[in-house]
Structure formats: C-alpha cells, structure tokens
Structure 1
Amino acid sequence: MIIAIDLGSNTFRLNLMQNLNGKYEIIDTFERIVGSARGLKRSGKISNEAKGDIFKAIAQAKEKFDFDKINHIAVATQAFRVASNADEIFKEIEQKFNVKFKIISGEAEAKLTFLGIKEALNGFGMDTKNSVFIDLGGGSSEISNGDKFKSFEFGIITFCDQFDNDISLMRKKVATTTKEAKEFLAKFDKKHIILTSGVPTTMAALKLGMGYDDYDKSRVNGYRLFKDDFDGLMCEILKFDNEKADKLLGKNRKMPMLGGMLLLKELLCNEKAELVVIDDGLREGVGVAYFNKSLDEILKF
C-alpha cells in the first residue's frame, strides 16, 4: 500500500492505494481546501493563514491514516515552486509531522497527472489515443497528450488574486492570460479533451445535482460537458449567496470557480473535441508511478 499526497496551490489531496495484481485500487481518500497560492502573486510567499491550513490538513490526515506503518510519497506543485518560504515550511512539516515533501517540476506534474488520468480512462474502457488533457490548477495549468507536456504559469487562485476577484476585469484579461496555452492546445489532433481538477469536476457535479458534501467521484468520471454549460453555470453561480455557494461548491470557492470557468471557457473556445471530465489526476498518478516503478525516473524532470 501507499499513501499518495498532492499538495497543490489550492488543495491538499491524499489517496490510500494498493496494487492488486497490476490493478491499482483506491482504498480511501482525504481532501481539504488550503489555499496555498492565495496572496502569493503579491507577497511571493505562502501566507501564514495558508500555512496554518496546510498544517491542520496534515494533522487531520495523520489522525485518519497510519503514516508510521504505510509508506507515503508527498509532492508539491506550482505555489511551492515559486514561494520563497517553501523550503522553510517543508522543513517545519518534516520536523513536526515526519512527512517529507518533494517539490516537483511542471513537466513531472504533467507526466504523473497523465498516468492518473490514463488509469481512470482504462477503468471504463476508454483509451488516451487522440486525447489531450487539461489540468487547470490553482497556480499553474498543464496540457499534454501523453507525449508532449507543457506547464503554464497561470492558475485559478493566482488569476483571481491578480485581478482582485473582479469578474469584469478577469473577463477582459482572460484571453491574454491563456493565449500561449490556447496556441499549444490547438497544435494537437484530438477527438477528446480530458478535463481534470476542481473546476470541471464541480461543474459536472452541479449538472448532476450534487453538492460539495455529497460529491461522488464515480458519477463524475466520464461525464461529458458542453460549451454552453460554462455560461449557464456561471449565471447560476453568480446568483448564489455565500451559504449556498459554500454548500454546493465548497467553502470560499465561489470566486475561484468563476475565475476557473472563465479560464477554461477561453481555453476551449476554438475547440471542437468532446469534453470529458475525469476526477483522477496527480495523486493517483503518484500511486500508479510508485507501483509500476517509474516514479523515480519521472521525478528527475
């Protein structure tokens, strides 16, 4: 068994996984919103508030899972690639919790995410041929077809922070923000675009009538989104009061959802491929790579 941890720019996500004769099974999961990248664009540091939320999430995870008996692999992504105090925070985490994090490159992140997506697609008889995935993160975004990988330095949290959560300003700036990524995406010959991360999975959940607390990954995996869904759901979310937004989207996720939907809508505006939602991503990829013994090689990138 392995505990695979993904500490991202917005969330702390964990899987307990096992390998059953080459079939990778997720036994249990754990997730908390920690907002690692909030305020990072201005300060260059992980805030004290985010640090506290990260420490709290790790403490809760250690109460639920036996880290002393089960091997764990913990990776951190874009917010920690750029934060000036990342090393200091991770030294403190290692001393306090005996959990050692590795900050991985954008390319390693994309490769591992692809492995997680591929495993999920295999689970319901869909392969990755003629498919491209988009992982819209909190601090960076990755696009890949499995052979070519590229990481872009924009994400949901940093985008919202940069423009002070001003929807009208974000609408004006979204095309410039995503220009390079759109050009990269357009180069691929593709039948499917696989969408992973919190924005498309939450969109699918809303369409399926689920909220944050009754979210069911098994219903979301493989769900098809359409371009019309973006404007329709954005109109709905804009009408949510804070209580309803927290219930359906998760605590303090209204603005990140709106900002993320703007980014994703712009990225996809010229695309005609089918849009398929997959919940699985980096943490699942870490587990798969560990079991198939490719993790060390991938982490060299």
Structure 2
Amino acid sequence: MIAIDLGSNTLRVVQIDCKSMKIINEYEKTVKTADGLVQHGLINGKATTRVISAIKEAKEKIDFTSDTVKAVTTEAIRRAKNSDDVLLQIKKETGVAFKIISGEEEARLTLLAVKHRLAKLQYASDSFVLVDIGGGSTELIFHYDNEVISKSFPIGIVTIAQSYETLNTIQKALPKEMGQTYATYDAKKINGTSLEMKELDFYLKKLLSLPFEEREIAVGTGRSNLIAAGILIFKQLYSIVEFDACVVIDDGLREGVALEECSSLH
C-alpha cells in the first residue's frame, strides 16, 4: 500500500509490501506548505503548486494505480482558512484525496510507527517519551505501559521560524510558546542513533558559525534556519521532560498510516 503524509514543510510518500512489511519505494520533497501561513492564515498558490508538482513527481517514481493509496495531512491544512479549496485543487490535478486528521490522530499513528521501529531495533518499547517536531506543530507523547498522555504544541520549525526574526528571539520566545507542560539524511543510518543535549549545543554553534552559503550546503537549500529552529525547540523539550539524551527514529506519520492500513487489509 502507499501512504502519503503532507506536512507543513514536507511531502512524504512510502510504498510498503503489507505481506513482508518491507518498504518497496519512498519519496520525500520539501514543499513548504505552511510558507506564509502565520502571516495570512492561508495556504498560498505557490505552496499549492509545489505540493501538486511533488505529488506528480512521486507518481513518476511510484505506481499509484497498482496499490491502495491513503493520504493524510496535518497542522498546516488544519489551520488554513482555505483548506477545502486547496485539497480540492490537489485532488483535481493529481487524483489524490487527502484526509485532514486531528493532532490526536497524528500522535496515535506516529506512536504506532515508533513502537514498531523500536521493536525492530530491539529497544524496550513499553515506556518512553516521544518528541515529534514537525513544520507546523510539535507533539510530546508520554507512553507508559498501555497509558498514553499526549500534548500538542501549535508551533513547528516553519511556523516558529516565520513568527520571529532571529534565532535569539526564537530562543527567548520558546518557553512562553511551549509553556512548562510536564504532562537529507539516510533513515537506515540514523534510526536508533542516540542524540545528547551537548551534541545539540555543538551542532547549533557549528551551524551558526558558518556563512549562509555553507550552511545551505551542509543541511540542504532552504533548510538552514529551519534546522536551527528545530534544534532550539528540541532543547526546550529536553528541559520540559528533564532528559539530556534521546534515540533518533526516522519513522513517523506516513509509516503509521501504512502500518494501520496494512493491518486492516489482513
């Protein structure tokens, strides 16, 4: 089956063989869906065009006609005043019908994918805290045995970067934005990697010390400010949950959608 996740910054597509549960094909493209959303409350025409172009590009790589397709979209579309019109245009031009899911549903499906990956990596998956930083929202999920407590913050790397002019103002604003709520890489290489607070500090300083052009080369064109904003959000979350290290998992919403759909087909 084919699962599609249209986020606030990225379109992610995965094709999975439901019998073997192995990935057959995948596609990912930065589309900046939420570009300008903070200022105008709308998904603009250029962003819509980028999404449509990316879906058409994905269809050239993956045969959408030979498999079940389930497409979901999240925070940017949830918040946009023109979401119905945008999704109608996308369906008209690509044939893909997106379903807007709630923050709770997004958290549930992401949790499903992470638990599946942790089991494959042979990590104990009965108790953990999941941090999912997206383009338009950040999810904090506490999983203890069979109990799940989740908190969704309506800020992500795109929306926070567009709301404040400098990284310094972002850093000062994050405690207020997130409150004190205590409640281009290779996925195969990063799944299961540990990430410590001191490493976040090191890479943030290293990133900010580079000239803009070198920063763009290091993390990808158009992503340098977003990466830095993501690091700052991560650091704030570390202080909220009082942890100083984590395990990196690449699997997320699209994998959760695929896993649930595969389960329903059997």
Which of the five TM-score ranges fits, normalised by the shorter chain?
over 0.9
* Structure 1 counterpart of 2:253: 282
**1:140 aligns with one of 134, 137, 150:** 137
* Structure 2 counterpart of 1:15: 14
Give distance in 1, aligned partners of 2:244 and 2:112: 21
What SS does the aligned partner of 1:172 have?
A: helix
- Alignment deviations for residues 222-252 of structure 1 (CA, whole Å, 9 cap, x no partner): 1011111121101111123343323321220
What SS does the aligned partner of 2:29 have?
A: strand
- 8 A Cα contact 2:215 2:224, kept in partner: yes
* Structure 1 counterpart of 2:40: 43
The runs of at least 4 consecutive aligned structure 1 residues that moved more than 6 Å come to none
Give distance in 1, aligned partners of 2:229 and 2:245: 22
Q: Is 2:158 the partner of 1:157?
A: yes
Give distance in 2, aligned partners of 1:183 and 1:137: 20
Alignment map for 1:229-248 (pairs within 5 Å):
229-248=199-218
- 8 A Cα contact 2:48 2:90, kept in partner: no
1:273 deviates by 6.0
- Which amino acid in structure 2 is aligned with residue 46 of structure 1? I
- Alignment deviations for residues 78-97 of structure 1 (CA, whole Å, 9 cap, x no partner): 00001011110111111111
Give distance in 2, aligned partners of 1:258 and 1:232: 12
Seq. identity, %: 35
Aligned length: 260
Give distance in 2, aligned partners of 1:36 and 1:173: 23
- 8 A Cα contact 1:111 1:149, kept in partner: no
- Alignment deviations for residues 70-118 of structure 1 (CA, whole Å, 9 cap, x no partner): 1111000000001011110111111111100001000000000001111
Give distance in 2, aligned partners of 1:144 and 1:272: 14
Larger CA deviation: 277-286 vs 148-157 = 148-157
Unpaired runs of 5+ in structure 2?
none
TM-score normalised by length of structure 1: 0.83
TM-score normalised by length of structure 2: 0.93
- 8 A Cα contact 2:197 2:244, kept in partner: no
What SS does the aligned partner of 2:179 have?
A: helix
Q: Is 2:61 the partner of 1:64?
A: yes
- 8 A Cα contact 2:4 2:13, kept in partner: yes
Larger CA deviation: 80-89 vs 266-275 = 266-275
Give distance in 1, aligned partners of 2:212 and 2:48: 24
**Using a 3 Å threshold, how does the CA distance of structure 1 residues 273 and 232 change in structure 2: closer, same or farther?**
closer
Give distance in 2, aligned partners of 1:150 and 1:172: 21
Unpaired runs of 5+ in structure 1?
185-211, 295-301
Give distance in 2, aligned partners of 1:9 and 1:282: 13
